[in-house]
């Protein structure tokens, strides 16, 4: 028996028309290629199932987070926008989308999304913090200070929130018009 035959799961004397058992379990053919009917159906079903999973809100969220972990924030925002259209009031999707916008320099969009997130749950300290940071970058320090104070009040143990407020001058009273 030659080494190639043993690696492919074949026995001596098998002709080339036989499909090894392991190849039948993992079809690599794309839909539309000329395949025997049984192999193309299971392979096609697998491809369709994979595509459907990738286009669920959860699948899009996971792919968006993977892009963000590689610092591809603008590309992640495209996927996360699609996820948010599928599930517009899902906090985890809105938080990720806001972070993607913020980290890609789209501060107004980030502020809008974090505002939407606070509309779902106003007691989220991270959303208060992120909205404050977005507003700070938009040149709206008084509004930013309000949200950073709320973040500190909701999570007094967070050094991140306290430091952000201190950098903005958190002890100053808001401007009165």
CB within 8 Å of 148: residues ≥ 6 apart: 128, 129, 132, 133, 161, 164, 165, 168, 170
Report all structural domains of the chain as residue ranges with CATH numbers, in order of start.
37-105 (1.25.40), 107-177 (1.25.40.10)
Q: Is 105 left (phi over 0), alpha (psi -120 to 50) or beta?
A: left
The pLDDT assigned to 40 comes to 55
Query: What is the 8-class DSSP label of residue 124?
Result: -
Q: Is 149 a residue whose pLDDT tops 80?
A: yes
Span 15-30, pLDDT tens digits = 444 433 433 333 333 3
Distance CA(41)–CA(23), nearest Å, equals 15
Distance CA(101)–CA(123), nearest Å, equals 22
Average the pLDDT over 48-61 and give the result.
78
- Exposure pattern of 93-132 as b/e (b: 16+ CB <10 Å)? bbbbbbbbbbbbebbebbbbbbbbbbeeeeebbbbbbbbb
Q: pTM higher than 0.75 for the full model? A: no
Span 74-119, pLDDT tens digits = 999 999 999 999 999 999 999 999 999 999 999 999 999 999 999 9
146 near 131, Cβ under 8 Å?
Answer: no
151 near 161, Cβ under 8 Å?
Answer: yes
């Amino acid at each position: 028996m030659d080494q190639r035959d043993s690696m492919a799961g074949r026995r001596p004397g098998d002709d080339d028309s036989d499909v090894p058992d392991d190849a039948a379990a993992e079809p690599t053919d794309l839909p539309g290629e000329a395949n025997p009917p049984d192999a193309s159906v299971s392979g096609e079903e697998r491809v369709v199932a994979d595509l459907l999973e990738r286009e669920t809100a959860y699948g899009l969220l996971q792919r968006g987070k993977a892009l963000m972990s590689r610092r591809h924030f603008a590309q992640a925002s495209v996927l996360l926008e699609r996820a948010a259209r599928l599930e517009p009031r899902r906090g985890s999707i809105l938080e990720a989308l806001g972070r993607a916008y913020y980290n890609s320099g789209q501060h107004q969009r980030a502020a809008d999304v974090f505002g939407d997130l606070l509309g779902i749950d106003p007691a989220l300290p991270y959303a208060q913090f992120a909205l404050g940071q977005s507003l700070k970058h938009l040149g709206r320090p008084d509004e930013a200070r309000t949200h950073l104070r709320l973040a500190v009040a909701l999570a007094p143990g967070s050094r991140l929130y306290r430091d952000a407020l201190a950098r903005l001058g958190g002890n100053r009273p808001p401007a009165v018009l």
